[in-house]
Structure 1
Amino acid sequence: MIVYGHRGAKGEAPENTLPGFIHAYRHGIRHFELDVVLSRDGIPVLVHDLTVDRTTGAKGGVCNYTAAELADMDARRNTTSWPRKVGIPTLEQLLDQFDDLEHLQLEVKKDARQRLNILCNRLTEIIQHRDLYQRAAVTSSDPWFLREIRRRDKKIRTGLVAERKFPRPLNIATRLGCEYFCANWKILTKDMVELAHRRGMHVSTWTVNRIHDMLQLEDLGVDSIITDYPTSTRMFFDNRARALLQLPVREEASPEAGTEVKMGSDESFHLTPGEGRA
């Protein structure tokens, strides 16, 4: 099961900041979910809210500040403690920092249509210029925005962010042609996951911070989880995988009985469903 760092590593470092992404990257995380908002000067920046109030000492909408002004803020307020001042970065700064990220979920919040229209153009340009078709998906709970990004470039992968079971978000994702179904983990059922898979969608779920919940979601067949604690989560699944590989081979019959036991076959080594995906 794939582990995505939520807003970088929200529970381990200041959210949506370069130090947070670098921290998770150094611990082996290559999949991230992050939030993109348009600055006053038309640059996609990484911030969850449409205002800067919660995570910085400043006040007002992101739309009131340039990218340079946002970078100069201190984004450690009401978030995980960090020893040094960290600002709000641009999406391009994150992409310049790493050249081997495996996948990004770029979530766009609902905003004024005029601003979303500009942001749609900017994201399309970045994905096309950097050839991120296979390594990024644009996600949103706003069907209008997802239709607009698909209208600009049909090769860009999209995902519907769903928080409630109604009105049937999986059907909405299907009508929009989404490749990703990004659901609140509390609304998912096995039937929903199986239907999404039959419709060719990757099922990603948020925000999952307890191992118990992760294992239940793994049993449901989800493809990836988004967590505030990606480094410790990755460590758990890696350790489990290593422990499974060290199990002794079970022999079904002795050679004297005339039955050949093939190493690596289903007769000699068996993983319970779901454990091989870790």
Structure 2
Amino acid sequence: MIVYGHRGAKGEAPENTLPGFRHAYRHGIRHFELDLVLSKDGIPVLVHDLSVDRTTYLKGDISQFTARELAAMDARRNTSSWPTAAGIPSLEDLLDQFDDLEHLQLEVKKDKRPRLNILSNRLTEIIQRRDLYEKVAITSSDTWFLNEIRRRNRNIRIGLVSDRKFPKPLNVATRLNCEYLCINWRLCSKELVSMAHRRGMHVSTWTVNRIHDMLQLEGMGVDSIITDYPTSTRIFFDNRSRTLLNLPGQEASTTAPEPKAEERFRLSPSSR
């Protein structure tokens, strides 16, 4: 099961910032989920909200600021503590930092359609120019946007983001010809995962911050989890693998038994 760092490493460092990604990268994380919004000058930048209000010490919509102005802000407000300032970077700032990332889920938030239209053009161009077809999936809860990406380039992988039972996420993803189904982990079931796999989809669940829940999802057959705590999650699964390898007469397994009560620990909750 693949572990994706949520917004870099949201629970361990400022979300959607280069220091957060570098922190997780140093601990071996090579899969990330992040959020994209279009800046005033038409550049995809890493930020969850449509405004800077929550994560910076300024006020205003992302659409009011250029990428350079956003990069100069301090995005440590209401996020994980960090000793130095961290701005809002562009997608290409992130891509320039690392040359061996294995996969990125690029989630695009709902926005005004003219802005989403420009963003779809920008993302398509970046993926084509950098040949990221195998390393990127563009995800969104906005079905119109996903259709626009598919219309521009059928080789770009797309994924539906859903936290609702109705309309049924798998049916919507099927109609869109998605390669990824990205659902709230509470909606997940073994039957849903099995059906998605039969339709050729990768099932990714968010935001999973308890080891107990991760193990249950693993047992259901999910392909990946998105967590605020990727480095501590990786440590747990690495330690489990080493323990299983050292047990006499046993081989490593991808599915772990039900954890004991003392092995269950809760990390702080979060929304996608």
**TM-score of the superposed pair, with normalisation by structure 2:** 0.93
Q: How many residues align?
A: 256
1:164-219 deviations in Å (ceiling 9; x for gaps): 11111110000100000000001111111110000000000000000011001111
Task: Give me the identity figure in percent.
Answer: 76
1:10 aligns with 2:20: no
Q: Which amino acid aligns with 2:37?
A: V
Q: 1:80: Cα distance to partner? A: 0.3
The equivalent of 1:244 in structure 2 is: 244
CA distance in 2, matches of 1:163, 1:225: 15
1:241-269, CA deviations, whole angstroms, 9 ceiling, x for partnerless residues?
111111113xxxxxxxxxxxxxxxxxxx4
**SS of residue in 2 equivalent to 1:15:** coil
Equivalent residue number for residue 47 of structure 1: 47
Distance 2:111 2:4 in 1: 25
In the other structure, the counterpart of 2:143 is 143
SS at match of 2:24: helix
Which residue of structure 2 lines up, in the alignment, with residue 74 of structure 1?
A: 74
Task: Select the residue among 255, 266, 271 that pairs with 1:274.
Answer: 255
Change (3 A) 1:203 1:273: same
Cα pair 2:244 2:253 within 8 Å, conserved: no
Tell me what 1:230 maps to: 230
In structure 1, runs of 5+ residues without a counterpart are: 250-268
Relative to structure 1, the CA distance from residue 272 to residue 72 in structure 2 (aligned partners, 3 Å threshold; closer, same or farther) is: closer
Provide the rounded CA distance (Å) in 2 between the counterparts of 1:223 and 1:165: 20
The unaligned stretches of length 5 or more in structure 2 are 257-272
1:85 equivalent in structure 2: 85
CA distance in 1, matches of 2:71, 2:81: 18
Q: 1:122 corresponds to which residue?
A: 122
- Matched to 2:210, the amino acid is R
**1:90 Cα offset (Å):** 0.3
> Where does residue 31 of structure 1 map in the other structure?
31
Tell me how far apart the structure 1 counterparts of residues 212 and 93 of structure 2 sit (CA, whole Å).
Answer: 35
Q: Partners of 2:45 and 2:37 in 1: how far apart?
A: 5
SS at match of 1:99: coil
| Structure-1 separation of matches of 2:42 and 2:216 | 42
State the shift of 1:270 in Å.
Answer: 4.8
Q: In the alignment, does 2:189 pair up with 1:208?
A: no
Paired with 2:242 and 2:128, the residues of 1 have a C-alpha distance of: 39
Q: Distance in 1 between matches of 2:238 and 2:84?
A: 31
Q: Evaluate the alpha carbon distance shift between residue 274 and residue 63 of structure 1 in structure 2; reply closer, same or farther with a 3 A threshold.
A: same
SS at 1:205 equivalent: strand
The residue that corresponds to 1:183 in the other structure is 183
3-state SS of 1:213 partner: helix
Q: Contact (CA 8 Å) 2:245, 2:251: kept in 1 or not?
A: no
Within 2, Cα distance between the matches of 1:176 and 1:170? 10
Task: Report the AA paired with residue 99 of structure 2.
Answer: D
**Residue equivalent to 1:173:** 173
- The verdict on how the C-alpha distance between 1:271 and 1:101 changes in structure 2, with shifts beyond 3 A counting, is closer
State how far apart, in whole Å, the 2-side matches of 1:199 and 1:177 are.
9
Cα distance in 1 for partners of 2:97, 2:70 equals 18
Superposition RMSD in Å:
0.9
Q: Separation in 1 of the partners of 2:251 and 2:238?
A: 18
Which residue identity lines up with residue 274 of structure 1 in the other structure?
Answer: T
Q: Distance in 1 between matches of 2:191 and 2:62?
A: 40
Write the distance in 2 (CA, Å) between the matches of 1:133 and 1:41: 25
Q: Distance in 2 between matches of 1:274 and 1:89?
A: 37
Answer with 1 or 2: which has the greater Rg: 1
Ranges of 4+ aligned residues in structure 1 off by more than 6 Å: none
Q: Structure 1 residue 274: deviation in Å?
A: 2.5
SS of 2:69 mapped into structure 1: helix
SS class of match (1:219)? helix
The CA distance in 2 between the partners of 1:132 and 1:271, in whole Å, is 32
Other-structure match for 1:192: 192
